[in-house]
Amino acid sequence: MRKTIIFFILLSFISVGIAGIDYECGDINNDNKINIMDVVFLINYLYNDGAPPAYPGLADVNNSGSINLLDGIHLIDYLYKSSVYLTCPEIGETPSGTLTDYNGCKVFTAAKSETPPDQDCMFYDYDGLSGTLNLSHVNAGFNCCPSELAADIIITDDTISIYEEELFDSLGGCYCLCLFDVNYEITDLEPGQYVIKVIGLCLEFEEDTLVFDVDLSAEPSGSYCAARTHYPWGFEQQTSGYITSSTGCKSFGAKDDTTVEQDCIVYDYDGSGNLSIVHVNDLFNCCPESLYIEVNVEDNVLTIDEYETDGLCDCVCLFDIGYQIVSLPPDNYTIIVNNVYYYGGYYNEEPIQFLVDFTGPASGEVCVDRPYIPMLQ
């Protein structure tokens, strides 16, 4: 009788709150009892490919941060030794979510493991022991060149809503859309059934968002996909480019004078679609209102046309201009850079033109002589 009284006193200290219901630490098979059958369930799970615990945190009875044989031994000691207590990990009361990282614009290859470009998918993986839910939004549509991706994550009762956003710097966005992979982490999330909603961008009017039900207790990992039949989904990604930096009008010191007559392209390709270029000693009006480029790829010829809008001064001078070219598939290319003044403008010169091997990562520099550059006149 004394043992029975002690047993019920212990139970008052070992309940764990999950999804608004009190479940008991050690009730591994989820039958509302703590007995030797929970030990059997745990052994079958660990060594006989048995079903996982419905609530993994209730199986970590020694609160070690992992589930192993020591939990079974501890549970046996608890059942048959009145001095042993069960201490399962606690999950926080207020879950929260963050955007952890992202990559894109994506370049699609024939890799079998890759999610097809006409699929908009959410992959999820839940760790019931820590209460952490990892989400990966694969093929999320955004502008090609945001300065940053962000999201508002709102968790209310059994609904997780993710409102995706794109942020821009003073240069603004690009005239194109493309696909990204975006990763999120939800912490302190109790096991249970949830509705996950992803309110993405670039969807057509009245098009369905990603909305699906998950039971994180019964199925802690999985995915949900929606077919997208419009741009930017299901299409070969469009190569595009934008200006990332501008330095000018340049002033030259004694150490730089030997390079003033050189018009140079410095390039760096990462092997997976992203090409960085710095055009050194580029020629524009001394005080343009804005600068921009247009990018075109046809028959393995990459053409970059440079423009200015509303030059306000009666002079020209030299700039160093940085570009970012995105979604350029690995291949061999001829690169042509057309400047508004050099080529067909004040000086009837041929554009910078050169061959590159972009079948893998590559970097280099190509220069041509411009003896008439204003700084030499």
Confidence of residue 142 (pLDDT cuts 50, 70, 90): very high
Q: Structure pTM?
A: 0.55
Confidence of residue 10 (pLDDT cuts 50, 70, 90): very low
Beta bridge partners of 126: 133
Q: Nearest Cα to 214, choosing from 150, 90, 125, 86?
A: 125
Supply φ then ψ for residue 192, to 5 degrees: 150, -170
Length of the chain counted residue by residue = 377
Check pLDDT > 50 for residue 110: no
For residue 9, what pLDDT is reported? 28
Q: How far apart are CA 170 and CA 243, in angstroms?
A: 11
Check pLDDT > 70 for residue 91: no
Check pLDDT > 90 for residue 120: yes
Confidence of residue 1 (pLDDT cuts 50, 70, 90): very low
Contact 41, 48 (CB under 8 A): no
The answer to which of 151-165, 187-201, 305-319 has the lowest mean pLDDT is 305-319
For residue 377, what pLDDT is reported? 44
Beta strands 331-338 and 301-309: pairing type? parallel
Mean pLDDT (the chain) is: 81
The pLDDT of 159-181, averaged and rounded, is: 86
Nearby residues of 350 by Cβ (< 8 Å), 6 or more positions away? 343
Q: How far apart are CA 215 and CA 195, in angstroms?
A: 9
% residues pLDDT > 70 (the chain): 84
Q: Nearest Cα to 236, choosing from 104, 103, 105, 108?
A: 108
pLDDT digits (tens, 9 = 90+) for 282-325: 888 888 887 888 888 989 999 998 888 776 787 888 888 998 88
For residue 294, what pLDDT is reported? 86
The pLDDT of 162-184, averaged and rounded, is: 87
Contact 139, 181 (CB under 8 A): yes
The answer to which of 111-125, 179-193, 194-208 has the lowest mean pLDDT is 111-125
For residue 346, what pLDDT is reported? 53
